Amino acid sequence: MKRFRPYRLDAATRDFYADVRVSVNDFIYPYFIVDGEHEIQPIHSLKGISRFSPDELVKDLEETIALGIDKILLFGVIEQELKDEVGTIGYDKDSLVCRTIRLIKQHYPKVIIFTDVCLCEYTSHGHCGLLVGETVDNDTTLPLLAQMALVHAQAGADFVAPSAMMDGQVKAIKDLLHKKGQTAKVLAYSAKYSSNFYGPFRDAAGSAPSFGDRKTYQMDYRTKNQGLEEISADVEEGADWIMVKPAQTYLDIIQRASVAFPEIPLAAYQVSGEFAMLKTAAAAGLLNEELGFLESLTAIKRAGANYIITYYAKDFVRKGL
Protein backbone atom coordinates (compact mmCIF):
# COMPACT_ATOMS: atom_id res chain seq x y z
CA MET A 1 0.00 0.00 0.00
CA LYS A 2 1.30 3.41 -0.92
CA ARG A 3 0.55 5.99 1.74
CA PHE A 4 -0.54 9.39 0.39
CA ARG A 5 -1.90 10.91 3.52
CA PRO A 6 1.52 12.05 4.75
CA TYR A 7 1.48 14.57 1.85
CA ARG A 8 -1.63 16.09 3.37
CA LEU A 9 -0.70 16.02 7.02
CA ASP A 10 -0.95 19.72 7.73
CA ALA A 11 -1.07 23.04 5.91
CA ALA A 12 2.71 23.45 5.68
CA THR A 13 3.14 19.97 4.20
CA ARG A 14 0.37 20.54 1.70
CA ASP A 15 1.96 23.85 0.69
CA PHE A 16 5.27 22.10 0.23
CA TYR A 17 3.79 19.57 -2.18
CA ALA A 18 1.70 22.04 -4.16
CA ASP A 19 2.91 21.98 -7.78
CA VAL A 20 0.93 24.97 -8.92
CA ARG A 21 0.27 28.32 -7.34
CA VAL A 22 -1.49 31.25 -8.93
CA SER A 23 0.40 34.49 -8.50
CA VAL A 24 -0.27 38.13 -9.18
CA ASN A 25 2.24 38.03 -12.05
CA ASP A 26 -0.08 35.68 -13.92
CA PHE A 27 -2.91 38.16 -14.13
CA ILE A 28 -4.12 40.36 -16.93
CA TYR A 29 -6.91 42.61 -15.67
CA PRO A 30 -9.65 43.80 -18.07
CA TYR A 31 -10.90 47.39 -18.16
CA PHE A 32 -13.98 48.76 -19.92
CA ILE A 33 -13.61 52.37 -21.07
CA VAL A 34 -16.35 54.90 -21.74
CA ASP A 35 -15.85 58.39 -23.11
CA GLY A 36 -16.26 61.46 -20.95
CA GLU A 37 -14.96 62.53 -17.58
CA HIS A 38 -15.60 61.49 -14.00
CA GLU A 39 -17.59 58.47 -15.15
CA ILE A 40 -17.66 55.33 -13.05
CA GLN A 41 -20.49 53.06 -14.15
CA PRO A 42 -20.87 49.85 -12.13
CA ILE A 43 -21.69 46.87 -14.35
CA HIS A 44 -24.53 44.98 -12.72
CA SER A 45 -23.86 41.70 -14.45
CA LEU A 46 -20.17 41.80 -13.42
CA LYS A 47 -20.27 42.50 -9.71
CA GLY A 48 -17.40 44.72 -8.60
CA ILE A 49 -16.44 45.78 -12.14
CA SER A 50 -17.17 49.23 -13.58
CA ARG A 51 -16.80 51.09 -16.82
CA PHE A 52 -14.46 54.02 -16.39
CA SER A 53 -13.86 57.20 -18.32
CA PRO A 54 -10.14 57.58 -19.11
CA ASP A 55 -9.44 59.94 -16.19
CA GLU A 56 -11.14 57.60 -13.71
CA LEU A 57 -9.40 54.59 -15.21
CA VAL A 58 -6.05 56.21 -14.54
CA LYS A 59 -7.13 56.83 -10.93
CA ASP A 60 -8.26 53.24 -10.54
CA LEU A 61 -4.95 52.03 -11.94
CA GLU A 62 -3.17 53.44 -8.94
CA GLU A 63 -4.76 50.75 -6.80
CA THR A 64 -4.32 48.04 -9.43
CA ILE A 65 -0.63 48.76 -9.66
CA ALA A 66 -0.26 49.01 -5.89
CA LEU A 67 -1.74 45.51 -5.72
CA GLY A 68 1.07 44.34 -8.01
CA ILE A 69 -0.98 43.87 -11.18
CA ASP A 70 1.03 45.19 -14.13
CA LYS A 71 -0.90 43.87 -17.14
CA ILE A 72 -4.25 45.24 -18.31
CA LEU A 73 -6.56 44.56 -21.25
CA LEU A 74 -8.57 47.46 -22.65
CA PHE A 75 -12.03 47.41 -24.22
CA GLY A 76 -13.70 50.48 -25.68
CA VAL A 77 -17.41 50.90 -25.01
CA ILE A 78 -19.02 53.15 -27.58
CA GLU A 79 -22.44 54.79 -27.61
CA GLN A 80 -24.75 53.19 -30.14
CA GLU A 81 -25.29 56.48 -32.03
CA LEU A 82 -21.57 56.79 -32.74
CA LYS A 83 -21.25 53.37 -34.34
CA ASP A 84 -21.56 52.71 -38.05
CA GLU A 85 -21.66 49.72 -40.38
CA VAL A 86 -17.89 49.51 -40.71
CA GLY A 87 -16.74 50.46 -37.20
CA THR A 88 -14.99 53.69 -38.25
CA ILE A 89 -14.66 54.93 -34.68
CA GLY A 90 -12.56 51.91 -33.75
CA TYR A 91 -9.58 52.47 -36.02
CA ASP A 92 -9.11 56.19 -35.75
CA LYS A 93 -5.80 57.28 -34.22
CA ASP A 94 -7.76 59.36 -31.72
CA SER A 95 -10.18 56.59 -30.84
CA LEU A 96 -11.27 56.20 -27.23
CA VAL A 97 -8.86 53.30 -26.75
CA CYS A 98 -5.95 55.20 -28.33
CA ARG A 99 -6.54 58.28 -26.19
CA THR A 100 -6.71 56.11 -23.10
CA ILE A 101 -3.51 54.26 -23.94
CA ARG A 102 -1.66 57.55 -24.28
CA LEU A 103 -3.05 58.84 -20.99
CA ILE A 104 -2.15 55.66 -19.14
CA LYS A 105 1.38 55.64 -20.52
CA GLN A 106 1.84 59.27 -19.43
CA HIS A 107 1.05 58.32 -15.86
CA TYR A 108 2.24 54.71 -15.73
CA PRO A 109 4.77 54.01 -18.48
CA LYS A 110 5.55 50.57 -17.11
CA VAL A 111 2.04 49.17 -17.22
CA ILE A 112 1.78 46.53 -19.93
CA ILE A 113 -1.21 47.35 -22.10
CA PHE A 114 -3.10 44.79 -24.15
CA THR A 115 -5.94 45.91 -26.43
CA ASP A 116 -8.84 43.94 -27.86
CA VAL A 117 -8.85 44.23 -31.64
CA CYS A 118 -12.29 43.43 -33.02
CA LEU A 119 -15.08 45.24 -34.83
CA CYS A 120 -17.96 44.11 -32.60
CA GLU A 121 -17.51 46.95 -30.11
CA TYR A 122 -17.63 49.52 -32.92
CA THR A 123 -20.09 48.36 -35.58
CA SER A 124 -23.79 49.21 -35.41
CA HIS A 125 -24.61 45.55 -36.12
CA GLY A 126 -22.32 44.25 -33.39
CA HIS A 127 -20.55 41.62 -35.46
CA CYS A 128 -16.81 41.08 -35.27
CA GLY A 129 -16.23 41.71 -38.96
CA LEU A 130 -17.64 43.54 -41.96
CA LEU A 131 -20.99 42.49 -43.34
CA VAL A 132 -21.68 41.63 -46.92
CA GLY A 133 -25.43 41.15 -46.86
CA GLU A 134 -25.97 39.18 -43.67
CA THR A 135 -22.64 37.39 -43.91
CA VAL A 136 -19.56 38.40 -41.97
CA ASP A 137 -16.90 38.70 -44.63
CA ASN A 138 -13.44 37.49 -43.77
CA ASP A 139 -11.03 39.08 -46.19
CA THR A 140 -12.46 42.59 -46.34
CA THR A 141 -12.33 42.66 -42.52
CA LEU A 142 -8.59 41.96 -42.36
CA PRO A 143 -7.28 45.42 -43.32
CA LEU A 144 -9.60 47.06 -40.79
CA LEU A 145 -8.38 44.84 -37.97
CA ALA A 146 -4.81 45.56 -39.05
CA GLN A 147 -5.53 49.30 -39.05
CA MET A 148 -7.06 49.11 -35.55
CA ALA A 149 -4.02 47.20 -34.30
CA LEU A 150 -1.73 49.76 -35.90
CA VAL A 151 -3.35 52.78 -34.23
CA HIS A 152 -3.31 50.98 -30.87
CA ALA A 153 0.37 50.15 -31.33
CA GLN A 154 1.20 53.70 -32.39
CA ALA A 155 -0.59 55.01 -29.30
CA GLY A 156 1.63 52.82 -27.15
CA ALA A 157 -0.07 49.43 -26.69
CA ASP A 158 2.44 46.71 -25.84
CA PHE A 159 0.24 43.92 -27.16
CA VAL A 160 -2.66 43.91 -29.58
CA ALA A 161 -5.08 41.06 -29.16
CA PRO A 162 -7.19 40.24 -32.23
CA SER A 163 -10.40 38.56 -31.11
CA ALA A 164 -12.53 38.66 -34.26
CA MET A 165 -11.77 35.06 -35.29
CA MET A 166 -11.16 36.05 -38.91
CA ASP A 167 -8.80 33.72 -40.74
CA GLY A 168 -5.49 35.40 -41.44
CA GLN A 169 -6.00 38.21 -38.91
CA VAL A 170 -2.67 37.62 -37.17
CA LYS A 171 -0.72 37.79 -40.42
CA ALA A 172 -2.57 40.88 -41.60
CA ILE A 173 -1.75 42.64 -38.32
CA LYS A 174 1.85 41.44 -38.16
CA ASP A 175 2.52 42.55 -41.73
CA LEU A 176 1.15 46.05 -41.21
CA LEU A 177 2.90 46.52 -37.85
CA HIS A 178 6.15 45.42 -39.43
CA LYS A 179 5.69 47.67 -42.45
CA LYS A 180 5.10 50.65 -40.18
CA GLY A 181 8.01 49.87 -37.90
CA GLN A 182 5.88 49.03 -34.87
CA THR A 183 7.16 46.54 -32.32
CA ALA A 184 3.94 45.78 -30.44
CA LYS A 185 3.42 42.06 -29.99
CA VAL A 186 0.36 40.03 -30.90
CA LEU A 187 -1.60 38.06 -28.35
CA ALA A 188 -3.83 35.97 -30.58
CA TYR A 189 -7.25 34.92 -29.33
CA SER A 190 -6.49 31.73 -31.21
CA ALA A 191 -8.92 29.17 -29.90
CA LYS A 192 -11.95 31.27 -29.16
CA TYR A 193 -15.16 29.31 -28.91
CA SER A 194 -18.66 30.43 -29.67
CA SER A 195 -19.63 30.31 -26.02
CA ASN A 196 -22.70 30.93 -23.91
CA PHE A 197 -20.48 32.46 -21.26
CA TYR A 198 -19.88 35.85 -22.91
CA GLY A 199 -23.29 37.28 -21.95
CA PRO A 200 -22.26 39.68 -19.17
CA PHE A 201 -19.40 41.02 -21.31
CA ARG A 202 -21.68 41.84 -24.22
CA ASP A 203 -23.94 43.61 -21.81
CA ALA A 204 -20.97 45.52 -20.33
CA ALA A 205 -19.47 46.42 -23.70
CA GLY A 206 -22.75 46.90 -25.58
CA SER A 207 -21.41 44.55 -28.24
CA ALA A 208 -24.12 41.93 -28.63
CA PRO A 209 -24.87 41.15 -32.29
CA SER A 210 -28.07 42.85 -33.43
CA PHE A 211 -29.03 39.73 -35.41
CA GLY A 212 -27.85 36.15 -35.67
CA ASP A 213 -24.95 34.78 -33.66
CA ARG A 214 -21.18 34.38 -33.93
CA LYS A 215 -21.17 30.76 -34.94
CA THR A 216 -19.87 31.37 -38.45
CA TYR A 217 -16.58 32.70 -37.12
CA GLN A 218 -16.12 31.66 -33.48
CA MET A 219 -15.34 27.98 -32.94
CA ASP A 220 -17.87 25.22 -32.41
CA TYR A 221 -17.26 23.72 -28.98
CA ARG A 222 -18.03 20.24 -30.23
CA THR A 223 -14.78 20.15 -32.18
CA LYS A 224 -11.79 18.48 -30.59
CA ASN A 225 -8.72 19.21 -32.71
CA GLN A 226 -9.66 22.42 -34.49
CA GLY A 227 -8.53 24.53 -31.54
CA LEU A 228 -5.02 23.17 -31.92
CA GLU A 229 -5.14 23.79 -35.65
CA GLU A 230 -6.26 27.37 -35.06
CA ILE A 231 -3.39 27.90 -32.63
CA SER A 232 -0.92 26.32 -35.00
CA ALA A 233 -2.04 28.61 -37.84
CA ASP A 234 -1.68 31.67 -35.60
CA VAL A 235 1.79 30.60 -34.54
CA GLU A 236 2.74 30.21 -38.19
CA GLU A 237 1.34 33.67 -38.88
CA GLY A 238 3.63 35.06 -36.19
CA ALA A 239 1.53 35.21 -33.00
CA ASP A 240 3.80 36.07 -30.08
CA TRP A 241 1.40 34.80 -27.44
CA ILE A 242 -1.66 32.59 -27.86
CA MET A 243 -4.95 32.32 -26.02
CA VAL A 244 -7.67 29.83 -25.23
CA LYS A 245 -11.06 31.30 -24.38
CA PRO A 246 -13.14 30.61 -22.31
CA ALA A 247 -10.90 28.99 -19.70
CA GLN A 248 -12.86 27.17 -17.02
CA THR A 249 -14.86 25.11 -19.49
CA TYR A 250 -11.93 24.52 -21.88
CA LEU A 251 -9.22 23.16 -19.62
CA ASP A 252 -8.58 20.27 -22.01
CA ILE A 253 -7.73 22.70 -24.79
CA ILE A 254 -5.48 24.74 -22.49
CA GLN A 255 -3.67 21.57 -21.49
CA ARG A 256 -3.16 20.42 -25.05
CA ALA A 257 -2.04 23.86 -26.24
CA SER A 258 0.53 24.07 -23.46
CA VAL A 259 1.94 20.69 -24.39
CA ALA A 260 1.90 21.32 -28.14
CA PHE A 261 3.42 24.83 -27.96
CA PRO A 262 5.57 24.88 -24.83
CA GLU A 263 7.70 27.73 -26.18
CA ILE A 264 4.80 30.13 -26.78
CA PRO A 265 3.33 31.97 -23.78
CA LEU A 266 -0.25 30.80 -23.30
CA ALA A 267 -3.03 32.96 -21.90
CA ALA A 268 -6.48 31.77 -20.86
CA TYR A 269 -9.50 34.01 -20.41
CA GLN A 270 -11.79 33.36 -17.46
CA VAL A 271 -14.69 35.02 -19.22
CA SER A 272 -17.52 37.13 -17.88
CA GLY A 273 -20.03 34.28 -17.58
CA GLU A 274 -17.54 32.13 -15.71
CA PHE A 275 -16.82 35.00 -13.34
CA ALA A 276 -20.52 35.76 -12.90
CA MET A 277 -21.34 32.13 -12.21
CA LEU A 278 -18.90 31.95 -9.33
CA LYS A 279 -19.95 35.33 -7.98
CA THR A 280 -23.63 34.44 -8.13
CA ALA A 281 -23.13 31.06 -6.50
CA ALA A 282 -21.14 32.71 -3.72
CA ALA A 283 -23.77 35.42 -3.24
CA ALA A 284 -26.40 32.69 -2.94
CA GLY A 285 -24.36 31.07 -0.18
CA LEU A 286 -23.55 28.03 -2.29
CA LEU A 287 -19.78 28.35 -2.11
CA ASN A 288 -17.08 30.43 -0.54
CA GLU A 289 -16.22 33.11 -3.06
CA GLU A 290 -12.49 33.37 -2.38
CA LEU A 291 -11.91 29.65 -2.23
CA GLY A 292 -14.09 29.04 -5.27
CA PHE A 293 -12.08 31.51 -7.34
CA LEU A 294 -8.80 30.21 -5.96
CA GLU A 295 -9.68 26.68 -7.04
CA SER A 296 -10.96 27.77 -10.43
CA LEU A 297 -7.90 29.92 -11.22
CA THR A 298 -5.53 27.25 -9.93
CA ALA A 299 -7.15 24.70 -12.23
CA ILE A 300 -6.62 27.03 -15.20
CA LYS A 301 -2.96 27.38 -14.29
CA ARG A 302 -2.58 23.66 -13.59
CA ALA A 303 -3.93 22.95 -17.07
CA GLY A 304 -1.00 24.94 -18.44
CA ALA A 305 -1.94 28.60 -18.75
CA ASN A 306 0.96 30.98 -18.16
CA TYR A 307 -1.31 34.02 -17.95
CA ILE A 308 -4.92 34.39 -16.86
CA ILE A 309 -7.22 37.18 -17.91
CA THR A 310 -9.66 37.52 -15.04
CA TYR A 311 -12.07 40.07 -13.59
CA TYR A 312 -11.15 38.64 -10.20
CA ALA A 313 -7.48 39.72 -10.30
CA LYS A 314 -7.83 42.67 -7.93
CA ASP A 315 -9.98 40.80 -5.44
CA PHE A 316 -7.56 37.90 -5.52
CA VAL A 317 -4.73 40.10 -4.30
CA ARG A 318 -6.88 42.16 -1.96
CA LYS A 319 -8.01 39.01 -0.20
CA GLY A 320 -4.48 37.76 0.17
CA LEU A 321 -5.08 34.52 -1.77
Is 192 noted as a catalytic residue in this protein? yes
Q: How far is it, in rounded angstroms, from Cα 279 to Cα 270?
A: 13
Q: How far is it, in rounded angstroms, from Cα 86 to Cα 144?
A: 9
**DSSP 8-state assignment for residue 220:** P
Q: How far is the CB of 189 from ligand PBG (least distance, A)?
A: 7
Residue 57, CB half-sphere, CA atoms under 13 Å: how many? 31
Q: Which residue in 115, 19, 26 sits closest to 316, CA to CA? A: 26
Binding mask 178-197 for ligand PBG (x = CB under 6 A): --------------------
- Residue 317 DSSP SS3: helix
Q: Which stretch binds ligand PBG (CB under 6 A): 50-58, 92-100, 136-144, 198-206?
A: 198-206
Burial class of residue 265 in the structure, from the number of CB atoms within 10 Å of its CB (0-12 exposed, 13-18 middle, 19+ buried): middle
Q: How far is the CB of 61 from ligand PBG (least distance, A)?
A: 20
Sole binder of ligand PBG in the list 32, 201, 241, 307 (CB under 6 A): 201
Give the number of residues in contact with ligand PBG, rule: CB under 6 A.
11
Residue nearer to ligand PBG on the CB measure, 143 or 263: 143
**DSSP 8-state assignment for residue 84:** B
Q: Which residue in 296, 282, 217, 257 sits closest to 48, CA to CA? A: 282
Binding mask 20-59 for ligand PBG (x = CB under 6 A): ----------------------------------------
Is 105 noted as a catalytic residue in this protein? no
Q: How far is it, in rounded angstroms, from Cα 63 to Cα 61?
A: 5
Q: How many CB atoms lie within 10 A of CB 246?
A: 24
272 binds ligand PBG (CB under 6 A): yes
Residue nearer to ligand PBG on the CB measure, 36 or 209: 209
Q: Which residue in 151, 58, 164 sits closest to 111, CA to CA? A: 58
Give me the sign of the Cα torsion angle 86, 91, 92, 97: positive
Write down the catalytic residue from 245, 279, 301, 314: 245
Residue nearer to ligand PBG on the CB measure, 159 or 201: 201
Residue nearer to ligand PBG on the CB measure, 13 or 280: 280
Q: How far is the CB of 121 from ligand PBG (least distance, A)?
A: 6
**DSSP 8-state assignment for residue 205:** H
Write down the catalytic residue from 185, 192, 301, 314: 192
198 binds ligand PBG (CB under 6 A): yes
Binding mask 95-134 for ligand PBG (x = CB under 6 A): ---------------------x-x-xx-------------
219 binds ligand PBG (CB under 6 A): no
| Intra-chain end-to-end CA distance of the chain, in Å | 35
User: Which residues are known to be catalytic?
Assistant: 192, 245
- Residues of this chain that bind ligand PBG (CB under 6 A): 116, 118, 120-121, 163, 198, 201-202, 214, 271-272
